[in-house]
Structures are given as C-alpha cells and as structure tokens.
Amino acid sequence: MLRREAAGWNAPIVSFIAVQHRDPFRTLISCILSLRTKDATTAAASSRLFARAHTPEAMLALSLKTLERLIYPVGFYRTKARVIRGISRDLIEKFDGRVPDEIDELLTLKGVGRKTANLVVTEAYAKPGICVDTHVHRISNRWGLVRTKTPDKTEIALRAVLPLRHWIEYNGILVAFGQTICHPTSPWCSRCKIAALCPRIGVEHSR
C-alpha cells in the first residue's frame, strides 16, 4: 500500500541523483552532502559540484576553498569538503578510482558510515542492503517492527525481520513517508492509508 502511495511523494534526493546519473561516485558524494541537510539544499549543491567535478580525480583537482564554496550551504560544509577530498583520494589509492559495491569495503573510507554504505550499495548497485536514517529508525520503531535505540541497531534488527525482497526499496519509501505523512511530532495519522494497522508506539500527538 505504501509503495503505491509513494509514487505521489517526492523521492529522496539521493535516490533521484542515483536514478538520473547511474553513477556510484555521484551517489556516494551526494549522500555525504545530504547528511543533516535538506533535500533542496543538497540538490542545489550537488548540481553545482558535479558541474565542476564528477570523478575522484577531478574532485581532487579542486582546491579545498573551491570545494567549500561549491557545496555551501550544506550542513557542516567545511568538514564535508575535507571528507570528500579524503574519500576521493582513498578511492584512487585503494580502489583504482572505483566506488566499491560491498558495504565492508565502503566502510574503510573515512567519513562513510553504515547509512551511506548501505545507500550506495542499494541505490548505485541495486544490491541488497538496508539504509537506516532517522525516518527509517523512527517509523520502524513506531510500527513496533523493531525496538531499538540507534539506527545501527535498527539496521541489524531489520535484517532479521524484514524479507530480503523489501530491503532495497525500504529506505526510499519510508523516507518519503516520513517527510510527507509520518512526521517525528504530530504525524498526519488522519491522512495515513495504514493508520488502522499502526500501533503508533510513542506517538503522543497526531493530526
């Protein structure tokens, strides 16, 4: 049911970039830019950056100041500029400029956590993974599907209870659902197609 509804919601920006370009490097870098940043800001920064550089080599050719200017005002843009340069360097030195398609290899890149690694694997390579961000963590617990305290623990718990066939699409659907209907505070339960099935764990106020 949510899959059908999701067609009318805005897709997460990283998913949009992944589908638009089919480029693992752009998917990886846009994911770094998106952390703690609104989608509209991420989209604009990604467009400016990739117009100048869309390979690890081209990224390293940019000065740190230029990189900062191109991605501003994403959250923590100075830190992210350094992270992007470090990732680009590591990709060249460790992986011949190729973005790995395995989570464990992606995690060797400084600044890449489990959320980013799973997102790259699922969005860029269409391989099974469960990307858990704040929306996925919150909604999975709100449904009672898991009972966890952190996104990393939610990922592990979901791997045990969520059928493999749903892994790849789970993040995209829940992020769009969380941004549109299932808000952190005062969710739109009156508009939710699955409200009758939801235990609303932890929900104190709703609309």
Catalytic center residues: 115, 133
Q: Determine the Cα–Cα distance for residues 109 and 90; give it in Å rounded to an integer.
A: 7
Q: Determine the Cα–Cα distance for residues 72 and 35; give it in Å rounded to an integer.
A: 13
The Cβ of residue 157 has, within 10 Å, a number of other Cβ atoms equal to 18
Q: How far is CA 5 from CA 9, 39, 171, 173, in A?
A: 7, 20, 14, 9
Angle between helices 114-125 and 24-34 (to 10 degrees): 140
DSSP letters of 12-40?
PHHHHHHHHH--HHHHHHHHHHHTTS-HH
Q: Determine the Cα–Cα distance for residues 187 and 206; give it in Å rounded to an integer.
A: 5
Q: Determine the Cα–Cα distance for residues 56 and 91; give it in Å rounded to an integer.
A: 7
Return all residues near 163 (Cβ < 8 A) that are at least 6 apart: none
Q: Determine the Cα–Cα distance for residues 177 and 6; give it in Å rounded to an integer.
A: 7
